[in-house]
Homo-oligomer: A and B are copies of this chain.
Amino acid sequence: MKRFSRAWFSLAIGATLISLAQAAHTQTPRPLALMPLPSSLTLQGGEFEIPSDLTIALASTDSERLRNAVMRFQKRLADKLGHPLTSHIITASAGTIILDIASDGEAVQGPDENESYKLTVTASSIAIHAPTTVGAIHALETLFQLVQPVNGTYSIPQVNIDDSPRFPWRGLMIDCGRHFEPIAVLKRNIDAMGAVKLNVFHWHLTEDQGFRIESKLFPKLTGKGSDGLFYTQDEARELVRYARARGIRVVPEFEMPGHSTAWLYAYPELASGTTPTGIRREFGVSDTAIDPTREATYHFIEQFLREMTTIFPDEYVHIGGDETPAPDWKTKPRIQAFMRAHHLRDNAALQAYFNQRVLAILTSLHRRMMGWDEILTPQLPKDVVVQSWRGIASLDAGARQGYSGVLSAPYYLDGMKPAEVHYLADPIPADTQLTAAEQKLILGGEVAMWGEHLNQHTIDSRIWPRTAAIAERFWSPQNVRDIPDMYRRLEIVSVELESLGTQHLTSEDAGLRDILRAEDISALRVFASAFEPVSFSERYQQQHTDQLTPLTTFVDAIRPDPPIRFHLELATQTFLGHPGSNDSQTSAARDQLQSFFTSVAASIPTVELEAENAPRLQPLKMRIEQLRALTSIGQQAIASLSSGTAAPSGWKQQSLARIADAQKPSAMVRCLFLPQLTDLVNAVQ
């Protein structure tokens, strides 16, 4: 939706980026580590050397939010440099860093907030111009990412950046219903969201498995429905402030009429028929549903939502609305009578009636309604927003009918897919059939982090760094699609995010230590590098988990799409280009592959011994055996390909059979190198 500047086209491909820098000025050629990439960037050559005494001048707007953002920047900068930094924030038009910000922005940030900024770095100063504080916050994040080492010291390249987001709605949903996440976890994730310019934290607060937000009007919601694991109103308000300080909106979700066991256990009078006897521990779709036929239901919802608007100022309220089979609606005479009286011919029609009533309540509370695909029914007014978990066809169908939409289906993190798969999925693909007007209705996208298999230790590695790549999809121009360059930058951003507070890298070590109950996990760490978690649904097939299932097994410790996976892919393709060659590229690729297979193979005897004393490694016994065979096949394939000698008769068939065997489900993890190994084996004569 935004125009790309000319400068952009030279930036879009990583390799070109370096040569651009080299062409413009031979002094300090180095690739940048920005993510998301700005819509326009021109390197001017040379560096801005960071002085130990900074004067930060607020040239126009001087708000508390802006000052706090500047102070956070200062602190992070000093931490990155590792030495003290004296700095002064003054109201003036000149300084080391000048922030010329036209206004603090809307009192309540919405999708229309102007988030653009201009950032100019010269040899002597840094200038940020933005229409709002939110733009300034984004500019400071870009500036922080520009601070990179050159010749043993940190500096900032001289640069002109003119940046604004492609989509106004760039969200991350975290499901805190199925498993509760402490506030500290949400705060560190909001920090990370800010670092990659996401702007909507969609807070999934209620589920069959738990009601997580305090209601003073209806205290049993958490009193009975949460196991004591919920956010107080003060905590929620503080989180809203925390997010706003980082340019992030908080859209709360209260699931209705389905996914409502916790509501109905607390207040059985709201139930359609079957009343729950406790919080639901099982996952999956529940039969319980709020009764849409009683006036008391709407009175309750009106009071509840009114109370929630005192906590959540955002214009949008998400009512869920998905997965409501509600068999009671089909069988209860009272409900059937109501449906006949109101000419509602099926459950979908009854749910549409319910939605209309809730919409009227929200409208009276000056809120707009948002819901999952299912809320989209013919009578629905056009000012609701549909979040699509069904996919782009469903999203586009909504847009053609005039509904605003947010795409979520391709951004389900529990699919455990590689970042590149999410990255290439576009809310408005290049070949979209939507008209320009319809495209305007696609507000953006939302990453969905469902909570069945999450706890506070594992959540970060499921969200990060993959979500940073998706954040680029939502912010940067449509043609930014260079996978190797994305992965190159993602590795740097990943570490920067941990510096900011997430634990997606260290949590793997912590998980492995917890399993081994020993500090030294060097062998297990190498062994683990050969595996990824399987997807949510594959896991669910292998182990029928519920809310009380411990999440402390090997699959919980390891990460989806670790960097090694893409490195192996690159090395395999490079090596297979000229497997017999000894040119430097091929040799490096061969070394990488050999080193991987050799070191994983070397870890096996130790891990095997350790498994004897680590009960939670016992289910991996079959994987250990497979890995022994597979690493050996890898080494043999490289040897054959390098020397150009044919494999013994039957080897290829046997090897492919071994690979096929390793693809069968076991221990809820998959060997991450099977596609590359298959390519190698197939290439052998």
List chain A positions with a Cβ less than 8 A from chain B: 78-85, 149, 152-154, 182, 184, 234, 491-492, 494-496, 498-499, 503, 505-507, 509-510, 513-519, 546, 548-553, 563, 611-616, 618
Please, how many angstroms separate the alpha-carbon atoms of A279 and B10 in the complex? Answer: 50
Assuming A82-B615, A548-B84, is B519 touching A563 (CB within 8 A)? Answer: yes
* A79 interface neighbour in B492, B495, B552, Cβ under 8 Å: B552
The docked-state distance in angstroms from the alpha carbon of A509 to that of B499 is 11
Among B182, B516, B550, the residue within 8 A (CB) of A78 is B550
CA gap between A499 and B551 in the complex, in Å: 12
Contacting residues, chain B, for A494 (C-beta < 8 A): 519
Across the interface, do B518 and A498 meet the contact criterion of CB distance under 8 Å?
no
Q: Are A548 and B505 in contact (CB under 8 A)?
A: no
Q: In the complex, what's the smallest C-beta–C-beta distance from A18 to chain B, in angstroms?
A: 16
Could you tell me if B509 and A495 are in contact, using CB atoms closer than 8 angstroms? no
Please indicate the chain B residues that have their CB under 8 angstroms from the CB of A613 in the complex.
Answer: 149, 152
The answer for the CA separation of A549 and B507 in the assembled complex, in Å, is 28
Contact A80 B506, CB 8 Å, known A149-B613, A513-B495, A618-B152:
no
A616 near B82 with CB under 8 A, answer yes
Within 8 Å CB of A503, what residues of B? 506, 510
Set B492, B514, B517, B614: member contacting A517, Cβ < 8 A = B492
Q: Which of A78, A82, A495, A548 has the most CB of B within 10 A?
A: A82
B519-A615 in contact (CB<8A): no
Q: Of B83, B84, B498, B618, which contacts A513 at CB under 8 A? A: B498
Q: Which residue of B lies closest to A510 (CB)?
A: B506
* A513 close to B517 (CB less than 8 A): no
Name A84's closest neighbour in chain B (CB-CB): B549
List of B residues within 8 angstroms of A79 by Cβ: 550-552
* Shortest Cβ gap from A562 to chain B (Å): 9
Q: How far does the alpha carbon of A83 sit from the alpha carbon of B550 in the complex, in Å?
A: 6
Assess whether B517 is in contact with A496, with CB atoms less than 8 Å apart.
Answer: yes
Shortest A34–chain B CB gap in Å is: 14
| Minimum-distance CB pairs A-B, first 4 | A506-B506, A82-B616, A184-B184, A499-B514
Could you tell me the distance in whole angstroms from the C-beta of A610 to the nearest C-beta in chain B?
A: 10
A563: nearest chain-B partner, CB-CB? B519
Residues of B close to A505: CB separation below 8 A? 509-510, 513, 519
Contact of A550 with B81 at beta-carbon distance under 8 Å, contacts A149-B615, A184-B182, A615-B153 already known: yes
Query: In the complex, how many angstroms separate the beta carbon of A39 from the nearest chain B beta carbon?
Result: 26
Residues of B within 8 A of A184 (CB): 182, 184
- A611 to chain B: closest residue by CB: B152
Q: Is the CB of A548 within 8 A of B495?
A: no
Residues of chain B lying within 8 A (CB to CB) of residue A519: 491, 494-495, 505, 563
Q: Give the docked Cα–Cα distance between A551 and B83 (Å).
A: 8
Q: How far is the CB of A582 from chain B (nearest CB, A)?
A: 23
Cα distance, A613 to B499, chains bound together (Å): 17
- A152-B615, A495-B513, A495-B518 known; 12 other A-B pairs, CB under 8 Å? A78-B548, A81-B550, A84-B546, A84-B549, A153-B615, A153-B618, A154-B615, A491-B519, A495-B514, A498-B513, A499-B517, A506-B509
Please tell me if the beta carbons of B152 and A612 are within 8 angstroms of each other in the complex. Answer: yes
Q: Are A552 and B80 in contact (CB under 8 A)?
A: yes
Instruction: Name the CB-closest residue of B to A499.
Output: B514
A503 to B501 CA separation, bound complex (whole angstroms): 13
Q: Could you say which residues of chain B place their CB within 8 Å of the CB of A492? A: 517-518
* Cα distance, A611 to B506, chains bound together (Å): 22
Asked if A82 and B553 make an inter-chain contact with CB atoms under 8 angstroms apart, the answer reads yes
Alpha-carbon distance between A505 and B525 when the two chains are bound, in angstroms: 15
A614 near B495 with CB under 8 A, answer no
Distance, CA A184 to CA B185, complexed state (A): 10
Q: Which of B82, B506, B549, B553 contacts A550 (CB 8 A)?
A: B82
- Chain B residue, CB-CB nearest to A516: B495
CA distance A83 to B555 in the complex (A): 13
In the bound assembly, the distance between CA atoms of A81 and B515 in angstroms comes to: 9
Q: How far is the CB of A664 from chain B (nearest CB, A)?
A: 22
Chain B residue with the shortest CB-CB distance to A551 = B79
Q: Which of A498, A505, A510, A518 has the most CB of B within 10 A?
A: A510
Residues of B within 8 A of A506 (CB): 503, 506-507, 509-510, 513
